[in-house]
Amino acid sequence: MRKKIDEKTLDHIVEEMVSMVENSKDEIFNIGEEARREHENLLLELQDTKEKVSHHIDNGDKLEQQVKSFKKRLSVVSKHFDRYSEAEIQEVYVNTNDMQTKLAVLRQDEKVLRKRRDELERRLVMLNQTIERAESLASKISVILTYLHDDFKQVNEIIAEAKEKQEFGLKIIEAQEDERKRISREIHDGPAQMLANILLRSEIVERSFKQGTMDKTLTEIKSVRRMIRSSLYEVRRIIYDLRPMALDDLGLLPTIKKYVATVASYHESIKIEFIPYGEEKRLPQEYEVALFRLIQESLQNAVKHAKATRIKVKLEIGKNNLTVIVSDNGIGFDPDSIKDKSFGLIGMRERVEMLEGRLSITSSEEGTKVFITVPYNAPFSNS
């Protein structure tokens, strides 16, 4: 089975990579340091060898001179056997021989030293290359480490964000299903049952009409009319909840005014006010829908959760910004601690982000304030 990669696994992989790369960096650093130490030692040895070579050359030259003069003397002595004793000739001969041997040894030593010098110079060039390579490798590894530390963290964040988006997408589908269930239940329990009732009552009307009891017929007709009216009200409420048609027909401000009034009429114990500022004008559809939903959710949250006695809904249609403030004097909550599970607030954030706006919630025991501002002239982003 294929293993699912999540942020934790990725973190682990990245950590392992980082530690491996860090070890390699240390190793390369050690190699560089060793090469540098060897370089220093060899440099000293090279200086020493060079000095020795020049010493040998000097000594060799002097010795050569001496050998030459001895040879000259030897040839003089050899030519005049009669003038020199055998011992004298012997001495000159032995000395010349000694000198020549010394010179040969010296030249041999010099050769060895020269060879060592050349070898040292070659080795130093190679060590220099090693040091340079180690330095460039270490700096490349530093780049890799930065990449692993910073950019991979970003990759992780991107993956986490994508996952959150995916989860959010699933939540949307789930919410759509819930919404459908809720609507079908509402229609089933409300208008459908009322229509069935109306059908039944209309049969009663027909029967009492046939029986000629006018008063009863009229009472029944009145009751049927009441039922039709309340069904109509229910159907309209359901449609309104789905998508207020007034939003398309009249625009944001009148729709919200009506919506707030309707909510207020359902909750008489709460004083709910709508306070509009700025110009009353039509906005692009996506802004009107988004702002309506944002206000709807904030107001519903305040009504549902806050236990408030006062709620204010403010909307300002400014020149460059649209601003919404929904404040209540309720019990408050901690907006940070419920981040993951609450769909209403997540949906609000998502909507505001889509419009490149800003949402902030401040809440205390004295109440909650939802503040939303959306740049109005900014192009609508579909991403």
Ligand X SMILES: Nc1ncnc2c1ncn2[C@@H]1O[C@H](COP(=O)(O)OP(=O)(O)OP(=O)(O)O)[C@@H](O)[C@H]1O
Distance CA 222, CA 216 (A): 10
Residues 192-221 that bind Mg ion (CB under 5 A): none
| Total chain residues near ligand X (CB under 6 A) | 16
Q: Name the token pair of 227.
A: 């039922």
Interface with Mg ion, residue 347, by CB under 5 A: no
Q: Which of 34, 344, 375, 376 binds ligand X (CB under 6 A)?
A: 344
- Which residues, 6+ apart, have CB-to-CB distance to 127 below 8 Å? 35, 38, 39, 42
361 in Cβ contact with 369 (< 8 Å): yes
Whichever of 290 and 302 has its CB closer to ligand X, that residue is 302
Interface with Mg ion, residue 301, by CB under 5 A: yes
Q: Which of 32, 191, 244, 330 binds ligand X (CB under 6 A)?
A: 330
Interface with ligand X, residue 328, by CB under 6 A: yes
Interface with Mg ion, residue 96, by CB under 5 A: no
Give the per-residue contact string, 283-302, with ligand X (x = CB under 6 A; - = no): ------------------xx
- Which residues, 6+ apart, have CB-to-CB distance to 228 below 8 Å? 198
Nearest CA among 314, 315, 323, 298 for reference residue 374? 323
Interface with ligand X, residue 305, by CB under 6 A: yes
Distance CA 258, CA 276 (A): 13
Residue with tokens 């039944």: 200
- Please identify the residue of the shown chain whose CB is closest to the bound Mg ion: 344
Nearest CA among 108, 117, 106, 98 for reference residue 48? 117
In whole angstroms, how far apart are CA 276 and each of 76, 254, 324? 133, 10, 9
Q: Which of 56, 63, 333, 357 binds ligand X (CB under 6 A)?
A: 333
Interface with ligand X, residue 168, by CB under 6 A: no
Q: Enumerate the β-bridge partners of residue 323.
A: 316, 373
- The region of 75-83, 187-195, 258-266, 324-332 touching ligand X under the rule CB under 6 A is 324-332
Distance CA 295, CA 234 (A): 22
Q: How far is the CB of 335 from Mg ion (least distance, A)?
A: 12
Which of Mg ion, ligand X, none binds 302 (CB below 5-8 Å, type-dependent)? ligand X
Which of ligand X, Mg ion, none binds 220 (CB below 5-8 Å, type-dependent)? none
Interface with Mg ion, residue 344, by CB under 5 A: yes
Q: Residue type for 33, please?
A: E
Whichever of 15 and 350 has its CB closer to ligand X, that residue is 350
Distance CA 294, CA 371 (A): 10
Q: How far is the CB of 306 from ligand X (least distance, A)?
A: 4
Q: Which residues bind Mg ion (CB under 5 A)?
A: 301, 344
Q: Which residues bind ligand X (CB under 6 A)?
A: 301-302, 304-306, 328, 330-333, 338, 342-345, 368
